[in-house]
Structure formats: structure tokens, C-alpha cells
């Protein structure tokens, strides 16, 4: 997941800024991502 973001060249793709996401949405997205990471870590630990 992280490597894909590092490979994204926003300048080559002429990306433009639209707006900021509300804080509540960002917090929900972060919670979901943390859940995925924790789940993956638990799965690997049980192997």
C-alpha cells in the first residue's frame, strides 16, 4: 500500500487540488487503515 503512494508522480500527471476532506472522514479512513494493518499483523503472528 505505501509503496504505491511513493510511486505516484503527481507532477507528471498534472494533479490539481480540489478540496480538503472533513476531519471526521479522515479519522474514519485512518481507523479503517489501522484496522487492516492490525488484522494483517494478527494473521501473520498466528502463522
In the structure grid, which three cell numbers stand for residue 38, read together? 492490525
Which residues, at least 6 apart from 21, have a Cβ–Cβ distance to it below 8 Å? 29
* Four-residue CA torsion sign, 27, 32, 38, 41: negative
pTM above threshold 0.85: no
Domain ranges, ordered by start, for the chain:
18-47
pLDDT for residue 2? 55
Distance CA 13, CA 7 (A): 12
pLDDT single digits (tens) 1-42 = 555 666 677 788 888 888 999 999 999 999 999 998 888 887
Amino acid at each position: 500500500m505505501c509503496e504505491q503512494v511513493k510511486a505516484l508522480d503527481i507532477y507528471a500527471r498534472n494533479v490539481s487540488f480540489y478540496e480538503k476532506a472533513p476531519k471526521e472522514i479522515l479519522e474514519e479512513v485512518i481507523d479503517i487503515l489501522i484496522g487492516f494493518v492490525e488484522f494483517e499483523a494478527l494473521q501473520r503472528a498466528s502463522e
